[in-house]
Amino acid sequence: MPKRLASAIAALILASTAATATLAQTEDARAISEDIFGSKTPPDEAYGAFQRGYYLTALALALPRAEKGDPAAQTLIGEIYARGLGVAENVARASGWYALASKNGDMMGTFELALLYQDGRGVPKSREKAAELFKKAADAGYMPAKYNLAMLYVEGVYVEPNMTKAAELLKEAADSGMPEAQYDYGVLLMEGAGAAPNPKEGAHQIGLAADQGLPAAQVEYATMLYLGKGVEKNLPEAVKWYRKAAMAGNAVAQNRYAKLLAVGEGVDLDLQEAAMWRSLAKRQGLNDPTLDKLLVSIPADELAQAENRARYWPGEPPTTTADAGEPAKAP
Amino acid sequence: MSAQIFLVAPADADIAAFAPILEGALASVPVSALFLPRGARSENAYKDFVKTVAPIAQSEGCAVLIEGEPGWVRTLGADGLHVFGSAKALPATREAAAALKPQMIVGAGPAASRHDAMGLGELDIDYVLFGPLEGALSAEARDMASWWAQTMEVPAVLSDPQADGETADAAGCEFLAVGESVWKAPQGAAIALSEIAQRLETL
């Protein structure tokens, strides 16, 4: 199951600033908003320090507030200890602060604590407890928690299986702009699981996730464009998305991009380029006899060059002319 | 499981007067640990007090915790050491844990803040104390102890010096520390203590 930690942190920062009714994400934004709205609420200094990377200052500012029961400060301290920012990483300690923040109604703290229980980090592993906390944070309106709760409904072990609920939660999270949720909701709509099948909307959602840079969605979207499933068939577009995902390191995308290059479908035929992507996919454990057949006719020197390029990918191999010891070979 | 009793002796107890009262109290209910605060006693007077009182408690299956140097625990025949203080107690607690654990008990507190409590709790000690040993227990200290008990693995001792048969509540902690109200109870220490024990069992 994908961990939503990175976006949770972003959301944490967003929500904390939203709580003070200013979007003070940066010093500039704060200055502007203060100019426009006037400084009615004092900025959260602990978060300000956190965002600028002054973690020990943030900790010192947050501690007295956290001791007095400020849930946002408690989550902030949890974050500092969970990630070892300026202090030794101490997940048990983080869990204590998250638990307190959760008790005081902080949905980010609740969500972070759920992740710790799910993985058994700093607390004894308990998927049941995690499910309970995901529910709590989802009920409070926290989108990443809705997404995780949806996954639990799909899994159907720690909460009762319920595809309809999963679909509803995924839709909410997708509408809020979470790429993972857009992708999963899209897949669900394509398959008609938990919701009426709607390939067009499904493709749209997967496209949104692809736009946000989720490699799995890019591969899926490329395949849909290739097949004309839910969207109009469009080979050059399919190639574009496979290439994007391939560049991001997705092995399936590398394999498929290689195949299209090997037969010149939607893109100019380029055996050397195809062989390079095949090599990169193979390096990740993806072997494909079909692709090997397509590349059986590649000249040996082309293949050697392709594999050399793969070795230095995403950089460029050093040019042979730069090497004074060996005479440059004529092509 | 109901909370166990952690009994705190008066800081100014006189050996001759205290011994029979303690004996009676310990005979009335099971007490897990007895802490003997040093108070204003001289080193020798305190050591004499411990040497006299410890066997009485230990014969009832009650562990005896003292205050002072780690080395005193073995020489005085006690079972463990309590390190007083919060953030400032960290070095002494670390030293005590290194010197005495795992054979002997080491505890520390009262923790003044959650941050301090976590610092102490990470020293691999047997318990963290919350709340004052004399006077009134604040709602903040009770909340802090309750949070600790729910979140952390190191046991919590919540001290409520004014607890009685009506109000005693360990707030989820493994141990409730009592003393002041027990020794001052008009009905006598043994009865006061059994009232508290009964109350803890009903919670």
Last residue of a domain, one of A137, A152, A180: A137
Kindly state whether residue A209 falls inside one of the protein's structural domains.
Answer: no
Which residue is it, tokens 């960290």?
A: B90
Kindly state whether residue A203 falls inside one of the protein's structural domains.
Answer: no
Span B30-40, average pLDDT: 97
Span B162-179, average pLDDT: 96
Q: State residue A131's pLDDT score.
A: 96
Q: Cβ separation of B152 and A67 shorter than 8 Å?
A: no
**Residue B196 belongs to what H/E stretch?**
helix B189-202
Span A93-107, average pLDDT: 95
Neighbours of A104 (CB within 10 A): 17
Last residue of a domain, one of A98, A118, A137: A137
Q: State residue A28's pLDDT score.
A: 53
How many domains is chain A partitioned into structurally? 2
How far are the Cα atoms of A42, A320, B75, B101, B104 from residue B97, in angstroms, in the given order?
44, 65, 17, 5, 9
Q: Tell me, yes or no, if B152 comes closer than 8 A to chain A by beta carbon.
A: yes
Is it the case that residue A221 has pLDDT exceeding 60? yes
Is it the case that residue A255 has pLDDT exceeding 60? yes
Query: Poorest-confidence range of A27-31, B61-65, B199-203?
Result: A27-31
Percent of chain A with pLDDT over 70: 83
Nearest CA in chain A to B113: A67
Residue B152 per-residue DSSP state = -
Q: State residue A281's pLDDT score.
A: 97
Task: Give the domain extent around A281.
Answer: 249-317
User: Contacts of residue B148 in chain A, CB cutoff 8 Å?
Assistant: 96
Q: State residue A9's pLDDT score.
A: 38
Kindly state whether residue A106 falls inside one of the protein's structural domains.
Answer: yes
pLDDT band of residue B124 (cuts 50, 70, 90) is confident
User: Contacts of residue A67 in chain B, CB cutoff 8 Å?
Assistant: 113-115
Q: Tell me, yes or no, if B115 comes closer than 8 A to chain A by beta carbon.
A: yes
- Residue A83 token pair: 């990630």
**Residue B127 belongs to what H/E stretch?**
strand B127-130
Q: State residue A318's pLDDT score.
A: 86
- Span A107-140, pLDDT tens digits: 999 999 999 999 999 999 999 999 999 999 999 9
Last residue of a domain, one of A98, A113, A137: A137
pLDDT band of residue A320 (cuts 50, 70, 90) is low
pLDDT band of residue A38 (cuts 50, 70, 90) is very low
Q: Which residues of A make CB contacts under 8 Å with B?
A: 63, 66-67, 90, 92-93, 95-97, 99-100, 103
Query: Poorest-confidence range of A16-25, A243-252, B3-12, B166-175?
Result: A16-25
Nearest CA in chain B to A68: B140
Q: Cβ separation of A95 and B150 shorter than 8 Å?
A: no
CA distance B52 to B36: 11
Query: What own/partner pairs with CB < 8 Å and gap ≥ 24 does B69-72 have?
Result: B70/B95, B70/B96, B70/B99, B70/B100, B71/B99, B72/B47
Nearest CB among B115, B148, B151 relative to A67 is that of: B115
Kindly state whether residue A265 falls inside one of the protein's structural domains.
Answer: yes
Is it the case that residue A43 has pLDDT exceeding 80? no
Residues 6+ apart with CB under 8 A from B20: none
pLDDT band of residue A319 (cuts 50, 70, 90) is confident
Q: Tell me, yes or no, if B151 comes closer than 8 A to chain A by beta carbon.
A: yes
pLDDT band of residue A104 (cuts 50, 70, 90) is very high
Which CATH number goes with the domain that contains A70? 1.25.40.10
Kindly state whether residue A125 falls inside one of the protein's structural domains.
Answer: yes
User: Contacts of residue B147 in chain A, CB cutoff 8 Å?
Assistant: 96, 99-100, 103
Cβ-Cβ pairs closer than 8 A, A with B, add up to 27
Span A261-287, average pLDDT: 96
Report ipTM (2 d.p.). Answer: 0.77
Span B44-65, average pLDDT: 96
Q: Tell me, yes or no, if B113 comes closer than 8 A to chain A by beta carbon.
A: yes
Is it the case that residue A27 has pLDDT exceeding 70? no
Kindly state whether residue A263 falls inside one of the protein's structural domains.
Answer: yes
Nearest CB among A67, A96, A103 relative to B152 is that of: A96
Q: Cβ separation of A99 and B150 shorter than 8 Å?
A: yes
